[in-house]
Amino acid sequence: MGACVTVAMIQSVGLLAAWPGQRFVAWVAAHPVQTLQAIFGLGFVIFVHELGHFLVAKACGVKCEKFFLGFDVGGWKLCSFKWGETEYGIGALPLGGYVKMLGQDDNPGAATAESHRARASGDLPAEPTSDPHPAWDPRSYPAQSVPKRMAIISAGVIMNVLFAVLMASWAFGLGVRELTCAVSGVRPGGAAWRAGIRTGDEITAIGNRQDPIFSDLQKGVALGDLSKGVDFTIHRPSDDSTRTVTLQPDTDLGAPTVGITSPYSLTVPDGLAGELPGAAGRAQPPLAAGDTILSVDGQPISRYDQLAAVLASDPARPVVLGVERKGARDGERIDVVLPGQPRRSLGMVMTGLAVKAVQEGSPAAIAGLKVGDRLQSLDGEPLGDPLTLDLRLRGRTGQPVRLGVERAGVDEELTVTPREVTWIEETRMRATPVSVASLGIAIPVEATVVAVDADGPAARAGIAPGERIKKVWVFEKDAAGDDQAPEDPGMEIGAEVSDWPSVVASLQTAPSGTRVRLRVGSPTGEERTVDLEPADVSGEFAVDRGLIFEPVYRIVRAASFAGAMKRGASKVKDDLSMVYGFLHKLTSNQISPRLLGGPIEIAKQAGRSAEEGFSRLLLFLTMLSANLAVVNFLPIPVLDGGHMVFLVYEWIRGKPPSESVVIALSYLGLILILSLMMFVFGLDLGLFSRFVPGR
């Protein structure tokens, strides 16, 4: 039986990412121990699957000629040895493993030759028998009864499930760090944003699941009914209120999401490489890895939302952070002055599109602003840059403003009173509108230039109104101060897609000297490439100051062996349901196939899990083992599930399907599997974009 390493689910969409192969190689070089753990872990999952086939085949008296991890295509192998009648080895192609039994070959091109070999070898019966098969070697796979062959076929999947339970139980026995379900931020315009969920809120229940962890949120959304939505119970510590909301997941990023960011603590990460970005990197004295913020301007704080409220209330004002430094004497603190972050601009005003979302209970909703309205003016003056609208309105809290709106081709004027904003809403993700938090609306911004600042970087580069930005690269100067060629492949900016806000947001805390390369298209269809250096805007400040914090974890540990086994079994059940749910949504076009990951992505995720600790690696291998079990048992010829379908047919009909039918279907299955592998390899290597705008 052969087994391919199956595809893995991934849940993030990157921005301006370098070619995955480069980052993967760099990560491997920097994390040799975690890399070895990941390699042995992945190899173990494959080994367990093939061991199931091997042990049951041996128990049934079948001759096993090979047991390989990896494939020895063309005889290429890293090592091998023979013990008894079986050759054990590691093949040169690390895409799975296989057990070669006499009379069985997953390669349809070799299946006929293998069947003839199995008929011609060994001690054959002297006389014809009532057996529906031709005369086979009694130790060959085809010579076994249907129940025995079913047992051999299913043994790999069963072993994967059993060992997944053991690995998960082991992990929960050791203790697993799990993200809590506090909210550090929401995606502007997303389901959580529309319901009014904000920084600092705590999710206390998802459906019937009480006191959930963050992975429960991910599973609840991924497996939830997109039409009915998912129920969330939300507690807001700032006013001690609790409410239940039904969120309708969005699918515009290719997978169901509600747009909630995992929780932040107030501790700077231990593994931070170099200084913090933006204003945080200019703090005096500098913030260091392991620092924990305990107060702001002398007021004690214990949660991230309390810090966010101070930073959001006045982005320009320097604040004094009371910091406990890791390794310092008990009670010893230092004061760190955190300056404001000057807003950076490329000197272009882009096209604001129609309002995409209106927040429940917001000033905009109260004033009657609707999805589809297009903002035209503010207090009788042109609206200006939609990316700075919220910053301008924050200075007018409680003061009514007049908004000129185009609604269904008719101009109207609405009066709206901006509210005070004490939370942070940043547009970091692609295809995300800009949030006007003071009003409670989200506006997509398309990369067509409306106006250019006369003295700004864009004007100096010759960019004019009416032109459109089609692609963006971001790169830095080298140590000598010379421009480096961008290492990433750049980001395509689609027409009518709100990608521009994420580009501008990424520049706010970028290192000094960062440059931007733009591919600019003119209205006549001509294209050119220009380089710009973002400039600080006098008197304007961004809310994001570049602070980076550790996530908030809690330890989930079983109190007894029985408790660990119970948690392990529940984890495997959830993982199996997750894979089936993913496949269902994939085949029903509810999620994008571009979220699949191949061997490189699997190895990267295994490495990240190993970096987080041995328990986390065990849980990743649990997920991968469940993934392997489900996908290998799909009814596709050349996979275990396809073999089982043939056996069920034989059991019902009393004779096997014709050899020509089996070979034809096997070729179709092989073409399907190879096509899928080529596709996920292309995704892993960046040959195909994982991002599907506007889905």
Residues with catalytic annotation?
A: 50
Query: Going by DSSP bridges, is the β-strand pair 553-556/176-179 parallel, antiparallel, or unpaired?
Result: antiparallel
The CA distance from 496 to 593, in Å, is: 23
* N-terminal to C-terminal alpha carbon distance within the chain: 39
The CA distance from 262 to 184, in Å, is: 6
Residue 142, both tokens? 């085809």
Is residue 443 within 8 A of residue 353, CB to CB? The reply is yes
The CA distance from 570 to 581, in Å, is: 16
Residue 30, both tokens? 């920097």
Q: What is the DSSP letter of 73?
A: G
226: three-class secondary structure by DSSP: coil
The CA distance from 377 to 362, in Å, is: 20
Residue 181, both tokens? 């379900």
Residue 376, both tokens? 């035209």
CA geometry: angle 173, 178, 179, nearest 5 deg: 170
The CA distance from 430 to 413, in Å, is: 31
Torsion sign over Cα 288, 289, 291, 296: positive
Query: Residue 182's Cα: distance from chain center in Å?
Result: 19
DSSP lists the bridge partners of residue 413 as: 404
Torsion sign over Cα 323, 325, 326, 327: negative
Is residue 314 within 8 A of residue 351, CB to CB? The reply is no
The CA distance from 331 to 324, in Å, is: 8
Q: Count the neighbouring beta carbons within 10 Å of the beta carbon of residue 76.
A: 11
